[in-house]
Amino acid sequence: APNVDFDHSCSDSVEYLTLNFGPFETVHRWRRLPPCDEFVGARRSKHTVVAYKDAIYVFGGDN
């Protein structure tokens, strides 16, 4: 698999996108990630936006 780096300098636009979607209909579309979910670079980036099928997921935080 290609090594994709998501270490972008995320601005407030990511936060705004999350608030813009709100509860919406994407809550029930959350899926459990496989153990190899490290490919999204969540350990290095503060936020990671992934578009999967017909939903948009925002991972991250200060964890």
Confidence label for 42 from pLDDT (cuts 50, 70 and 90): very low
Query: How many whole angstroms separate alpha carbon 41 and alpha carbon 6?
Result: 6
* Token pair belonging to 10: 């995320």
Share above pLDDT 90 across residues of the chain, in percent, rounded to a whole number:
0
Share above pLDDT 70 across residues of the chain, in percent, rounded to a whole number:
19
Residue 12 has pLDDT above 50, yes or no: no
Q: What is the reported pLDDT for 50? A: 80
| Domains of the chain by residue range | 12-60
